Structure 1
């Protein structure tokens, strides 16, 4: 029982230690709606950005590391809100899965990056999901 209480207390402390970010609009459309906003840490460093279309849908969103480089999952969207691309970054370089979509939501292509280089097999599809071609990038290192 004490172990469970200890785990809950530690979990709550970790949640409470999460850094709060301040939201700051940095670019506005002529009609006054937000086109881009940043989320800043307590030192004023941009940790996250979100850009919007005029209709209010998200255009692109992602986070930055302490050096101001892209970090983690970055997502971009078509104006209708459908995903356009999803990719992972590590210290500003593409690293991990990358997937790009057609406007109808089906996958256009997908593959992996490692330190900004394409790796492994990349698959390309038609709008109905049929495989068009596969590209071997095992020699790109």
Structure 2
């Protein structure tokens, strides 16, 4: 029986996954998942049939066997209660890491390129990250500039409407011009952030910020540099 792996070991574990078939054609997908129950089967499969994984549970709710049909290297991670909490797969020089809520809904996905030339210093280069709420609705996405930790970040309301957009760094938070929106799509505020000096600090507003009501009328301006 596979030993339980906690989330604290997940990061180190998925970085050491080896490359698989050099001709594999894969793409990141959101999976059809089933809530884990006793005497149940959890099925993960991509819509393009690149792979299919089945996890079988016995009457006590403990997984017993995993059947996999895939042209990529993959690994599944379970918590102490035998809930699937993460799934990773790799092909060529790209890996995808998926995290799940306990109801089987996708929580986040992180796509990254492995870097064999300088693995210890830069183990991976992010391509994008996406976060979802417990109902499967997207909350935030980041599209990265190649070879950097800088991304174009967008946040969303539960209805899918754009909530904010700007630039961010994984290490130094938001920076540059940001736009925030009301639920009706109109501009709520705009202004610039300055990078934080530490990952433990929040980015600070700088310069003049403008604030608008739900009709798009300017209602306030504040200068954060004074």
| TM-score relative to the length of structure 1 | 0.69
Correspondence list, 1:124-139, <5 A = 124-139=211-226
Indicate the SS of the match to 2:142.
strand
Q: Distance in 2 between matches of 1:119 and 1:106?
A: 22
Compute the displacement of 1:68 (Å).
Answer: 8.7
- Mind listing any 5+ residue stretches in structure 1 that lack a counterpart? 1-18
Correspondence list, 1:47-126, <5 A = 47=126, 48-63=128-143, 71-90=150-169, 92-115=172-195, 116-126=203-213
Query: Which is greater in Rg?
Result: 2
> Which of 124, 133, 157 is the equivalent residue of 1:45?
124
Q: Which residue does 2:102 correspond to in 1?
A: 30
User: Could you report, residue by residue, the CA deviation over 1:90-136 in whole angstroms, capped at 9, with x for unpaired residues?
Assistant: 45232211111111111110011233442332110001101011112
Moved more, 112-121 or 74-83: 112-121
Q: How many residues align?
A: 119
- Mind listing any 5+ residue stretches in structure 2 that lack a counterpart? 1-91, 116-122, 196-202
Determine if contact 1:45/1:66 at 8 Å carries over to the other structure: no
More helix by share: 1
